[in-house]
Structure 1
């Protein structure tokens, strides 16, 4: 079963999205938050996104965020101790079994896979 949510990437939408994902567990909400926040920070506030949560065939939970900009690709940074940002993908990299980007002509999907089944 796949859960899909369409929203505009705004700071106000993030807690509402997290609330709608609460049944999937804390890590799912945290990963979705980081991915949507990257859209806000690097593509622009108000960008339409689609958030998906699904079970993979090998029993993992997959979180995806799709946006319309195929060029703005996420970059894993190593933020210094005094940096005020730049830790989102490092957090995702730590929580997720794996993550990546599926790039298309009209957009991209940034995804991660977490251990364990989707709870609902």
Structure 2
């Protein structure tokens, strides 16, 4: 992907297509979660680094049961040319803020996430449990801490 914010939409379309080709309903909660996470990670890569990024989606293999779609952990990876470690920025009390929540969302929606140096840049990754039941990611949130 080029270092252009319009690439984020292209990444979302690509992920929806890959999920559909893998037997996942693009309107299913899990698919929406994957698309949102990809959107946030790609946005971080192209906006904060100003460099092209590479998106990789690792879909688990179906177990052969009657249930269509992947089973297990789905992995998203975004590589960029910056060695700067990603760090969640807590957006604070400004409910109208249009940025600063990307990695917070990734933390809430994924089983785990991280990053590692990759060549002259880094690779940010996350894993999403494809078998998890949809839950309210804000259930049990510490609203007082989020408002600070």
Aligned counterpart, 1:48: 52
Runs of 4+ in 1 over 3 A off after TM superposition: 55-58
Give the conservation status (yes or no) of the 8 Å contact 2:73–2:128. yes
Larger Rg: 2
User: What is the rounded CA distance, in whole Å, between the counterparts of 1:9 and 1:92 in structure 2?
Assistant: 21
Matched, 1:76 2:80: no
Matched, 1:11 2:5: yes
- The gaps in structure 2 that reach 5 residues or longer are 20-30, 62-70, 132-148
Give the number of the structure whose residues are more often strand, by fraction: 1
Q: TM-score, normalised by structure 2?
A: 0.66
Q: TM-score, normalised by structure 1?
A: 0.79
Q: Which has the higher contact order (CA 8 A, sep 6+)?
A: 1
User: What is the rounded CA distance, in whole Å, between the counterparts of 2:77 and 2:119 in structure 1?
Assistant: 17
Alignment: residue pair count: 108
> In angstroms, what is the RMSD of aligned CA positions?
2.0
Note the C-alpha offset of 1:41: 2.8
